[in-house]
Structure formats: C-alpha cells, structure tokens
Structure 1
C-alpha cells in the first residue's frame, strides 16, 4: 500500500510514500516534475483499485516509510512573512491498521538571495556652501534571507568628499547615512557620482549596488572678474555714432542669476565722458554716442563697475582710457575745367581732351593728392602746373573697336588711411571713313543650271562696312568686261543696294560654260572706299539635247537601205549606228538597243559602239529583206533618244567581206550628198585655219610652225583629240567617224582603216577603186582641229 500525502496548506502533493504502482505504466517514471495539479486538502491517493478521478502525479518507487522531497523548497516563498522559524505541517495515514500521524517539518534558511536596493539610482541635491559633517539619508538595501544571510554592511566608492556611516534598526536591519567630510565647490565639480554597495553575511557573500548622483547647487560665492584692470583704446576722430569702441567681457563662475552681470559707470566718470560714449549695461559694449574731434578732446577716462544679480550681489571694477587719433577726414576734390566731346576717331596724338584741377583741405601728407586714370586706356595725364592736369591722346583711336570711353578721374590723398574722390566723363568718338567694305569671301563660285529663267536670283554678294552712316552705305557694281563682244552688264545684273546678283538671259551649256568677272562694293564716304570680289559663274548642263544619228545618214524621216552579200560570214560588220549628243559628257553617253528586228537570231547590236554584226551566216530560209530599228539613248535624267530604221537586202555576189581590220572594197559615190557637205565644211575650216596661222605668224614675227591645235577658248567646246584625213574624207573628234565612212562607202571609192594603238588618232583614207592597200601610206594627209 502506498499513499501520496497532500499538504493541507498548499493543496498539492509534496511527499510520497512508495509501494508498487497500481498501473504498470507508472514504473517508467523516474524523475517526474513536482505535481502541480491542485486537489482538495487531505485527499488520499490510493494505488489500489481504480484511482480517484483526480489522479495526482505518481511518485517513483520508494522504500516503504521513507519521506522524500518531491520539489525544490523555497523558504522565502513558503514563509512569505519574514519570521525566525518556518514550519510545514502535514498528516500521514497508514492502513491496516489505519493510523494517522501528524508531521511538522522546519525549513531552515540558506543565503540564496542577494541584497538589492529599491531604486538603482539615488539623486541628491546639496548646496555647495553646506558645511562638512552634514548627514544625508539614502535608501537602504533589502535581503529576503534571515540572520547572518541578510544585509550586514555597506561600502561606498572611493572619493574625497563623502563617506558613509552604517546604522542598525530595531529589527536588526542595516542602513547607511551619507556624510559630507569635505566642503563642495560647484565651480570645480558640479556633479559627483558615487556607488553604494550592500553586502550580506552569507557564505559566500552576496552584494547589491546603487548609484548615488550628487548635484552641487550654486551659491553666489564668486564676484565678476574683468580680463584686465586697465584698458587702453585708440579711436579715430569723426567715428560715426554707434561705432564700437570696446566690448568689456567680465565673467562670473557662478550660474543662473548669480552669474548675470550688469555694467555701470562709477561716480568717478565725468558727465562729458558719459555723454560722449554709451555703455550697454547688459553686453558691456562701449560705443560712440557723440561726435569725436581730435582738436577738442584727445583723451577720455572712465571707470566701469560689473555687478552680478544675486540677492547678495558681488561686484568688480576696471578703468578704461580712450585716446582719439587724428584722421584724414577731408576728401580731396576734382574740378573739370574743360572737356571736349565728341572727337573724331582720327584725332592726332597729344591732342588735349580735358583740363582737370585737384585740391584737398587737409594739411601735411593728408593734403598731398595724386590724380590717375584707369590703365589700358589710350590717354595719359600730363601735369601742366600745380594741381592742374591735362588729359591727352596717347594712342590711335578706333571707333570700330571702342565707340566711346568712360574716363574716370580718381584723386587720392596720402593720408592714413588715404581718402579719394572720382569724377567720370564720357568721351564719344565720331566716325571717319577709314574702313573698306569687306566681303564674306574673296572668291565666289556660283553654279547656274542652264535654261534658267531670265531675272532669276543667282546669289547675294553682301559686303560689310564697320563704319557708320554714309560711310557704311554700300553700292554694288559689276566691273565691265566683254566676252565675245558681249558686255557683262548684258548677261548679269546686281542690285546696287543689297548685292543680289541676277541672270539677265537664259544660258546654254553647249554655247557658254563659265563666266569670270568682278563685283565692286563702294561706300558713300568722302572720299569713298571700295573693294572687289571675283565671281566665277559655272553653267551646269541639263539633258536638253537629244541624240542625233549621224550614221548611217539619211534624210529626215527616210529609211536607210543597205545591201550585203548573202555569203557574209558570221561576225561580219553589217552597219554601224553612230549618234552624237551635244550635252556634257555625263548626259551625252549613248547606248544602243534594238527596238525591232526581223530575226533576233541573225543580228547582234553592241550597246556601246552601235556596231551591228551577223550572229550566223545567212541560210536559204532567211528572208532577203531584213528590217532593223535601232534606238540611241543618252544618259540624262530623263533620257532622250533617237531612232533609225535600216533595211538590209541580201544579194548574190562574189564580193568578199573583210573584217574591220582589213581592206574593205566597197563602192562609194564620191558625190553623195553627205560627202559633198563634208568636203565643203572641210575646205572652209581648213581655209580659216590657214588664215589664222598666217596672221599669228605675222603678228609674232616668229618662224612658221605647223599648228596641230588651235588655242583653247573658254566659251567653246574643244575637241578632245585630233583627226587625220586624206583627200575628201572627214574625221571628227571621235573614232566613230571611221565607222561612219565605212558604213557610208558607195561605189567608186575604197575606204581603208589602219589600226593604231588605243587612244591614238585614226587615219582614214579615200582611194580610187582598184588602188592597192600600200597606197594608203603615200596619201597626202592633213590635220584638222574640229570645233
């Protein structure tokens, strides 16, 4: 049988008597925590039978009749009232036979609590005048332990002003009194920090601490103090009212009202001094109250008292001596006697512009004055007599750089500090015509598209003249120059007021390509000045000329008819289409294409040289008549073109076709219309060329020299290469002319082409039929420059 004994006081199981548990599961419990489940006082916990509805915490197996402590015992908790003894009363019931035992257990104290103060910080305010030996109470420490385990003594941190005295109360408790052992001085140390430690008598001892903050309260034990007993001050005469003379700064080591200072004059300070100087009672500033004059009073003496505002005030005094220093109190004066403005900008050097006099009412160095003007001005001062100066021109003047000058005359005396005065006058410069008009550029290049509208604005050639008024007004002219008996004024016009350049006619690039002339800008000054600028007009080509087909030649609207042998070999030259375009190189580049062709497999056309060649030999199936329509396009935008229709007829003949590098015997009609025109043109040009050469020789008295080329002309299209002709043949500036005659050869003549290096001249000869090839080299050749 085992019974858990429940305390009648605490209503919980504190002790257990042990026997086998009624429940096997209980045997696993080893160290159960103290039972916390509350049961009614006196409840018996039986292990036999069914446990009661409120089962307590079962105790581990214990020997029968042995009493064990189930949980930690805290005497201060069980015996809340601090008494010398502490008992726990309980009952033990034993069954079979049933008996009741009354048990009292005494709980003895151990030192398990440290002393502690109710407040961690103790604040004390002590007046610095407190006498030594004064006692101050502080809070005592408490310790819930009893006897020797409670507070035994107190300790105070080391200091020179305080100590403690330990007192014992009627209940045996210990407390400490704080005792002032040395007088306090707030001005030296205003706050003292102490540490009070309570120590109990247990083994080992336990302690608790509290901080004691002692604030020392001020008393008026310090009088105000000046930095010096005597002050010497110098002040300039005529110092303005309110000027600071001296700021007294007396200090008081006390605080609050004990340190607030008031400044006053003593009875030994004269009324005149008090009327001349003002003393601020709060700040101690001495300022000028009346005008000072060195000639009237040179020295002032005063006595100042500084008093604090304590109930029992303390004071201190000092002496102040003020010396008035003489000063340069008269400003020098400037008087401009004469002044000339405006003046011309080309005024000669050393011209007098103004006369100035200076003066100063002071004497000595204070009355000696110096006059000067700012640096870097084109003027200088020249002393003419005592205190008289002349302003003269020292450097050339230029109104365009500086239109006017503000000349400031400054006069300064030699006092200490020096005084000065100044006077400013404005000198205006009159303009003279000393600047030529200036164009923005020295050379103007203007591009004009041909076929321009007459009167179109080409450019604005504006010049600038920095002068003023009539010296700035510009008039523009075109300097006359004739080109091919035509005056420039007939071609161009310029607005005389603004320099706008206009074209008076429509230009044709194929006739005139450029113009070079001069424009003059002239001002309206007296005498006028002018400058000119070169103008280069470049006519820009337009694609305004369509190609003209010159080979094969035919009357307008007619069809060219050609006959070729039916036995012509593959690759033979059938015809050559040549078109010319008088536009510029870019616009005159011509390409050739078939518009129509009877049999596209029979003929090919070179798009660059216009040569029509056979792509194969003729067969019996091919028609005798072939119709070819060729279009020649230039390279302009938009492109222009011309067409030619060629009818080819094949004939059965034994005539042998030669390649373009061999002799080609063809019939040629000497008096065909085209050749007739060409012969006439050739004769005329040759005659004019001969006359020109003869005139040139006569004029220059030089030996006759064969002329290979005519002098170049600016407004003409010059042939890029020469050609050589023989008999009645015509050669152009292009190798196409050879093919022209090859295609146009008729009966009676044989045209021979001699191949020469690429880029060289072509030699084209015309010989009677039947002449051998070797005769070509013996043909008389002449050179013609084509224009």
Structure 2
C-alpha cells in the first residue's frame, strides 16, 4: 500500500512527475548499460522512503517467484546492514531503511551498495550493484560563525586576505559553491580554483582603509550551492583595520605540495618553509604557526618549528585512514600590530603494502559425499585488502595435490569446487589451505584452512581373506561344537562396514544344509548342529555369505569344505554263508588226503570304517588251534589252509576259533567259529570230489584273478612312471616359478589294501610337482596270497593301509 501510494503521488504532483521522468530515464539508461554487462545494476536516490521500488530483482536474475522460498533466496550486503530488502512474494527489491549517501561514501564521487544474492539447491551466487544517487540535502557549512580579518591601514588596494570557504557534504553539482559578498565600497571577493579542484576565496581590498574613519567593517559572506533547490550558508566577516605595520610576511607561492609515505618515522621532515617580510626590525621578524582554523587531526599529526618553518611528523600516518592533509600556515611578524602572511600546504600520504589480505569463508557445504559430482560447490570465499593499487590486488591459490580448485565468480569472490573424484577409503579428510597474496613488493599473504570431511558411500563389499577354506572335523562330534570361524572385512565405515553372516542354503541329500551346520550372524562362528557320521557323509561343502548393512547392501560368499574324519566306531562284521549272510558257525568238510597248504575254508569280514580303522587281520585263538593244529589262517586274507598233511591221528572234527581285529585305536574285534569235518576219501567220494573240485576251481579262479591284477598293476605303474618322467622333463625345461610345490586344496586321501582294488571316491590330492589341476588318484595293491610253507614272510604284513591327511588350511 505504501509503495502504491508513493507511485500515485509521483503521478499526480509536478514534482512527482519530474521525479518519475528522471527515474524512467535512469531505468532506460540502466537497462541499456546492463545489456553489455555481466552484473545487474540499479539506482536509487538517497533519503528515499521505506518501500521505494528499486528493481524486479527476481525477474532480472531469471528466477521464478515460486522458487524463492524453497531455494532459500537471501540477500547479503557486507557492512551495509538492512538498507535494502526483497519482497519474497513478488521478487521486488525495495528500500528498507534510510539511506544516507554521505554516511555511506563520504565525498566519493561514486557510491554503490554491493549485494550478494544467494540461492540454494543448487547453490548460486549473483552480484547486484545499487548506485545511490545524490540529492541536494546538505547545505553549505562554514567552519565558524565569524571570521576575523586583520588589515593594516597601510595595505594597498588589490591586497588579498584569504578567507575560509564553506564545505558541502554533497557531491557533483550539489557541492559546487558560489560565493557572494555583501555590498560595500571597500572590499570585493576573489575566487580561485586550485589544482585539487578546491576553491580558494580571498577578500580583495578595493581602496586604502583609514582606521580613524572606520576601525572595523562588518561584512557577510554567503555561499550557495548549485543544487535544486539551492541551499545557502552565511558567515560574518569582522574586518579590523590595523595601524602602521603595513608589510606582512609573504611566501614564495600560495600553495605547496608534499608527498610522504605512510608509517614514516616520527620526526621525519615533510617540508621547510621560507617566508620573507620587507619590513625592518621587529616588524620584519616573524614566526610560523598553524592557522587557528586548522583542524585537530592536522595539528595532532604534524608540528611546525616556529623559527625554521620545518614541518615534521609527530604521529602515525595511515593511508587507509586519511590520504590527504590540507593545512593553512601563518607567518606572523612582531610588529605592532603584527601582520601575517599565509600559504596552503597539501600533504599527500603515499600507500605502502602494510595490510595483509583478509579471507572470509561462507556457505560451507560439508561433509562432501565421496560420490559427489565434479563442480560441486564446497564453500564460498571472499578476499579483501585495505591497501590500494597493486598493494590491494589479491590473488588466491590452493595447497597442491587436493581434489579441489578455486573458480573466480566475481571480483575478489571465489568458489571452492570439487575437481576430481573422491575416495573415502583412501583419504577421509582434506585440510584445504587457501592462500591470498597481494601484488605489493614485498607481497603479503594470509591463509585460511577448510577441513573438508568426506562422507562414506557403500561402495565396498565385504571380502574374505581367501575364497575357500578346508576344515577337518572328527565324526561323532558333540552337537553345537564350534567348527570354524569365518571373517570378512569391509573397507567402508559405520553401518556400511557392519558385516553379518548367513548360510547359503542348499540341499545335502534329502536334508537341508541348516540341519547340519549354522553360522552366528555377528561373530561368523560356524557350529555343527548334530554329530557327523563319516560313514554317512565324508565331505560337507557349503557357502557362507557376508553382507553389510549399507543401502543397498553388498555381499560376498566364501566356500567351506568340511571333511569328516573317520573314527574307529564300527567293529568288523562277519559274512557267513546262509540266507542273507546270517550269523552262525562256518561248517566245511575236508578230505584227509589233502596235502599241506591246501585251502579248506575262508572267513570273510567287512568293516564300515575306512583306512586303518577298516584294515582287518585274522588270528587263530590258541585254545582252538593248539600248538599242533594242522590248520592256520591267513593274516589278511582269512583263508584257512593246512600246515601239513592230515593223518589218522587228527580228530575227525576240528573246531577253529578265528579272531577278526581291525587296526583302530582302540582296536575292535569279532569272533568266527569254523567247524571242519575230516573225512576219509572213501567215505565221501562225491563230497570229497566236489570239495576237491570246488577247492581246485576256487584256487584256479583266484590264480587267474591274481594274474590279471598283477598285469593291471604293472601297466598302471608303467604309465604313471612314464607320465612323471615326461612331466619332470617339461618342468625342467620351463622357466622357474614360485616353488615347485604350490599350495593345493588340502584333502584327505585314504586307501586300504586287503587283497583287492581300492578307489578313493570324491577325494582329490594336489600333485606336489608343479602347478596343475587336482587329479583323482586310483590306488591299487597286490592281493595277499597265502604264503608257501617255509616262506620267510609267512605271517607277516603284506599290504598296509595308509591315510594321508593334508595340512590344515590357515584360518
């Protein structure tokens, strides 16, 4: 409403229409100038009322009104308070509080308010310059209400008497002053413009004065500026006519100029004055002094020697505070009345590089995600230097070897942006040092540190030390026993590195894997849930999954091979003739006519265990066989044969007790009873014949089998030797590698030799002769044949079960 009221007043009043035309012209000039510039410019007159329209800043910046609030549209002005504000509803920049151009910029010809417009999501920075136009709101001001002028009656016409002019706080035409002297016949006004565009006024004597006729003259000096409307100021001139001493001291020139560097030492001579007086005696002796109108800031910084006229420094000069001093010097003689000569001295203070650049960090967007895109703005940086010229020109740089760079957005404004990819697992925090250096000689610099923390992203899956582990567990373990511990490492942080473990479920035969083993989700410990049976399950192979808690989660698997080691938990079982091989005694008829070494019967037994635990041996119990028993049993074959020829003295019924024993620890046994009936050849010719025929056929079949086995063993052995020789030759001709015996998959290989072929199923062993895929081993042993009587090896072990266990994998 207030803004609309101001617009209405501008349209209905002449002054308002004139102001509106001026504003329209300014706006057109601004738009024309803005077309060739990269910065938005507005203008506003000083002392404008609250709510005065400045510009449609949102529209000019290309922003939609609806996105101002969501994107946190805000305006900042360094050191300018809240002079200007933006209406977030319509995007208009308006005057918020009183703007005094003289308070903001003093006597500077240009006066602008620099605004920094910041919007987020994404972060953007715009720079707006609002020029403050001067209005004629300050009248001229004289330093005093009354100026006294002493004029000797002997002064000649056209003599000049300097006057202190007025000052105007405005600029431009509003500060250009014209002077007018009240009407009189003795005096006129002389106005001159100095080299520094200042105006020097003096009172001109038109005709000689007569003290006896008029000892005093009261005049009025009026100063008028050229503003619209014009403003004026008046000072009273009190002219006192002096008698006799009619020559005042004079200087060689009315104005002097000196240059001195700031921070010069106290006592440094600025200038030495040299005035003269044409009088003689006391009227020609004079002393130097500051004019009474010289302000305190001059007399505090400088002092003048009254006798020599040397002007020296007595305070600290600071270019950034005051860079120009103007002082009025009087040379006053000792006549009666005394007369004074005047000159003006301009002392220009030269800048030295004595101010360190200043760095300001704003709008920090921390921490930075490790997957942030290139060009992401991290911080806004502004620099400044109170010096001028090259001493105030600042350049910024970053510490090397950081993934960031500085982008200049405006004069002395920079953005710290991401320049290369981040990886929190390599570097989680960067200490970025911004260095600002000016162009002085020597140059001065300042630094500011920004700690940029890199936040984690779930980009690393848990990993195991090796892809596969081999574990050995004895059968009949207690339920719930600890078998192994898997451990995976995740390079991420916090919940992204929190690893949990689980089984990769599958079927083991007809049962689920989870019925055999379980894994603790946090510790990774693997437990056997039930006793394992080697005879039922020799190898349990499964996978454990490790998964982190990131979003989305990542995971990996490791394979466990659990070998169930055999224990001697099965006693030998006898295979007796009869339906189903049931229990009972083995009965056999034997002819008395058989000779020594004749096989009359065979005890068969099996053991469900493996390896040494299933290696069986046969013994005749002493009570059954006795010391003179005509029979013996094969230690590993179980074949009962005669030790000598049978005679009539042998009992017709022989009862043999055979002990079957395995090689486990402790050994388990079984007992077989063999009943032999000794018959004469004539008593049972058919039976004997059948028995003899059967025994001969069995022996012939056994011999045939043995021959075939021996041929097969020789062939396989020859092929194996030939393969090893060829492989060794190839390895010797190849360049050396890292060891001839690489770490293979740890396996358990068991074999037994009980007079028959033995094949280790589903078991593999790495050949320790170089790299290559694992090979399945087929192990063959020669059958145990009954020794001939009198043999040295009778009753000794012929084949030995062996069980090779590979080293346990590192855990």
Q: TM-score range by the shorter chain?
A: 0.3 to 0.5
| Larger helix percent | 2
The structure with more radius of gyration:
1
State the TM-score, normalized to the length of structure 1. Answer: 0.42
State the TM-score, normalized to the length of structure 2. Answer: 0.41
